[in-house]
Amino acid sequence: MRVAYLGPPGTVSHEALRDSPIAARWEAVSVTTLYEAVMAVQSGNVARALVPIENSVEGTVNPTLDTLALDADSVIIIGEMVHTFELCLVARAGIDAQEIATVISHPQPLAQSARFLRRELPQAETLSATSTSEAVRLVAESDQPWAALGTSLAADLNGLVVLRRDIADQDVNQTRFVWLAPAGTKPDIKATAGWKTSIVFWGDGDTVSGWLVGCLSEFGDRGVNLSMIESRPRRSKLGHYMFFADLSGEADDPAVADGLEALRQQTEMVRVLGSYPIHSYPST
């Protein structure tokens, strides 16, 4: 079975995929954007995709949410996993940290390690790359005193050395990934910690006072917990939004199903993005 991930090899997504026991025998397919990863499932080019949807430091991953809501109506979430990411400072062998003139990485890792860079590498400028793996590749191909922020996997794949480990400003940097599959696919793993249902909804009532509270109360009044709520522009008229929410329980649980039906009476669109087993979150 083919599974898409945000590449090139050595990215955090690649590292997460390699760490997943359920994907050990699957063929990993590298793509260049999250949009492509989601749409590869939509088109049938792959049977699964593993994409990031939320980071403990930077928050939700907007390209994943937007593509699922607006472009991939035949794709659902069938599972989730949490990957703890150790951000590393990598460079060519023989380069000392104080010699580094430029640090390259994806904008998110650069933001996640801003205090470290100011404190430990004040002389270095920063440059953005399309991914952490691309940043490592650029450093490996250059003879300049450059370094990259990325994974130890990317360093190994490109013949670089790790100068410093765990350099993110936060003690724990975790990313929640979701498994995507064609609509109608059953989850690949059994539920051991309950179920979660992810939805997106919108309506022109979003400009009316109390509309959103009324929508969300359809779940609270039925005892359904909301573990996440996020808004994104609808890409239509300014001031109109779509709302993403994660609900506790399966979509066909009576309380969840009743809440969804009541929500449909107040909105233009309600779509269940997936109903899937909750990941057992690690403590570190």
Hey, what domains does the chain have and what are their CATH numbers? 2-85+173-181 (3.40.190.10), 88-164 (3.40.190.10), 195-277 (3.30.70.260)
pLDDT digits (tens, 9 = 90+) for 93-111: 999 888 999 999 988 889 8
The string over 145-156, giving b where at least 16 C-beta atoms fall within 10 Å of a residue's C-beta and e elsewhere, is bbbbbbbbbbbe
Query: What type of residue sits at position 184?
Result: G
* Residue length of the chain: 284
In percent, how much of the chain has pLDDT > 70?
A: 98
Q: How far apart are CA 195 and CA 241, in angstroms?
A: 27
User: Is residue 96 exposed (0-12), middle (13-18) or buried (19+ Cβ within 10 Å)?
Assistant: exposed
pLDDT 10s digits, 128-171: 998 899 999 999 999 999 999 999 999 999 999 999 999 988 77
What is the reported pLDDT for 84?
Answer: 87
SS3 235: coil
Cα torsion angle, 260, 263, 265, 268, sign: negative
Q: Average pLDDT, stretch 113-125?
A: 94
Coil/strand/helix, residue 178: strand
* CA 221-55-103 angle, 5° bins: 160
For range 256-281, the mean pLDDT: 93
Q: Span 6-29, mean pLDDT?
A: 90
Asked whether the predicted pLDDT for residue 283 surpasses 50, the reply is: no
Kindly write down the DSSP assignment for every residue of 13-39, as one continuous string. Answer: HHHHHHH-GGGTTSEEEEESSHHHHHH
Q: Give the pLDDT score at 282.
A: 44
Q: Looking at residue 280, what is its pLDDT?
A: 58
Rg for the chain, CA atoms, rounded: 21
Instruction: Decide if pLDDT at 58 tops 80.
Output: no
- Please check the confidence at residue 59 and state whether its pLDDT lies above 90: no
Residues near 2 by beta carbon (within 8 Å), at least 6 away in sequence: 26, 27, 29, 45, 46, 47, 48
Taking CA atoms, 32 is separated from 46, 145, 249, in Å, by 15, 27, 34
- Give the pairing type, strands 174-182 and 102-105: unpaired
What is the tens place of the pLDDT at every residue in 242-259? 999 999 999 999 999 999
Give start and end residues of each alpha helix (H) in 105-235: 107-112, 114-120, 132-141, 152-158, 211-220
Strands 88-91 and 146-150: what pairing?
antiparallel
Look at residue 284 in the predicted model and tell me its pLDDT: 34
pTM over 0.95: no
- Whether residue 23 has pLDDT greater than 90: no
